[in-house]
Amino acid sequence: MFKKTLYAAFCFVALLAGAQASASWPLTEATGFGSNPGNLKLFYYVPTNLPEGAPLVVVAHGCTQTAQDFADTSGWPALADDYEFALVFPQTSTDNEPAGGCFRTWEPAHQQRGAGEPLSVKQMIEYMHSQFAISLDEVFVTGMSSGGHLTNIMLATYPDVFKAGAPESSFPYKCATQITELATCSFGGKILTAQQWGNLARSGYPGYSGARPKVQIWHGSGDPYIYLVNQYQLVKQWTNVHGIDAIADFGNLLLGQPRYYYKTLFGVTKVETVTIQGMGHAITVDPGAGPWQCGATGPYAADFNICASYWIAVFFDIT
C-alpha cells in the first residue's frame, strides 16, 4: 500500500520524464568506474575518432526513463557526431528509487559533494577522462525533470568541475530535502529571496570561491507538473550565485520563443532562460536534417520546432 501511495505521489508531482522509447543510438555501458556510492549505471556515447581534449556533456534522464530513452529523443548523440564531443548518460533505477526510478535529488545524502549520486557522476567524468582523454576544462551537464534536478545538484556541489549547465523543467537546488516537499516545490509553493536561494546553492560546496558555471534554464509555459514559476526561482538562485541581479538585461526571440539574458556589469551572460510557449512537461525537439534540427518525438519530447539540445550545445560553446 505504501509503495502504491508513493508512486501516486510521484505521478501527481510529475517528476516523470518519459517512458520506454525504441532504441536507436548505440550506448556503451561501463562498469568499475569508482566506488559509485549512488549505485548508478554509466552509459556513454563516443563518436568515431573522438579527438583528444574533446568536451564531455553529462545528460541526465527523468523518472521512468532510461539512458537509452533520453538518448533516442533528445538529439544529443547526433550532435556529438557532428561536433565531436563525448556524452555520459547516468542511469538510476527502481532498485534505487522504487516509485519511478528517479534520481534521489530530494534526499540530503544525494545532495552533497563527495557522496551519493553526485560523487558517482563525478567518478563517471574521471572514468571518461582516463579512457578517452576528454578535456576536464570542457565538462557540461544537462537534464530534464528529475535529471534537471540532478543538473542543479551537480552545478552546486561541483562548480569546479562544470563549465556550464542547463536544467530543463526543474526547480532549485535544495528546494526539497524530503519527499513530502516535492509537491510544494513542483507547484511553486516555495518562494525564497535570491539571497536565500543563493545561500542554498553555495551550501553545496561551502567556502568555494572559484569560478561558477553559467546556466541556461529551459521550461514549458504550460507545464502542469513543475510550474513555470520555478524557472524564475532558478534565475534567482543562479544569478545570486554569480553576484548579479535577477532582472533581465536583454531579451529576444529564439526561433519564436522568448529568451532572456542576465549579465554581469561587463556584459557577460551568466544566466539565460528560454521559455517554450504552450509546452507542457517535456523537452522541445525539432526532428529533421536541417542545421538547427535534432531530436525525436516521444514521451515527454514534444516538437515545438526548436531542438533544445542544439541550442544548449550552442550555449555551452561546443558547436
Give the residue numbers annotated as catalytic, written as ranges: 145
Are 213 and 162 in contact by the 8 Å Cβ rule? The answer is: yes
Detail the DSSP E strand segments found in the chain. 28-30, 41-45, 56-60, 86-91, 139-144, 164-168, 214-220, 250-254, 257-263, 269-276, 283-285, 301-303
Backbone angles phi, psi at 172, to 5 degrees: -65, 155
Q: Which three cell numbers stand for residue 229?
A: 514559476
What's the distance, Cα to Cα, between the start and end of the chain in Å?
A: 49
Q: What order of strands is seen across the sheet that includes strand 139-144?
A: 28-30, 41-45, 86-91, 56-60, 139-144, 164-168, 214-220, 269-276, 257-263, 250-254
Are 258 and 306 in contact by the 8 Å Cβ rule? The answer is: no
Residue position matching grid coordinates 553545496: 204
User: Residue 227 and residue 81: Cα distance in Å, rounded?
Assistant: 34
Q: Identify which of 235, 229, 241 has the alpha carbon closest to the alpha carbon of residue 185.
A: 229
Pairing of strands 250-254, 269-276: unpaired
- The interaxial angle of helices 194-202 and 146-157, nearest 10 deg, is 70
Residues 6+ apart with CB under 8 A from 307: 75, 284, 285, 286, 292, 293, 294, 295
Secondary structure of residue 315 in the 3-state scheme: helix
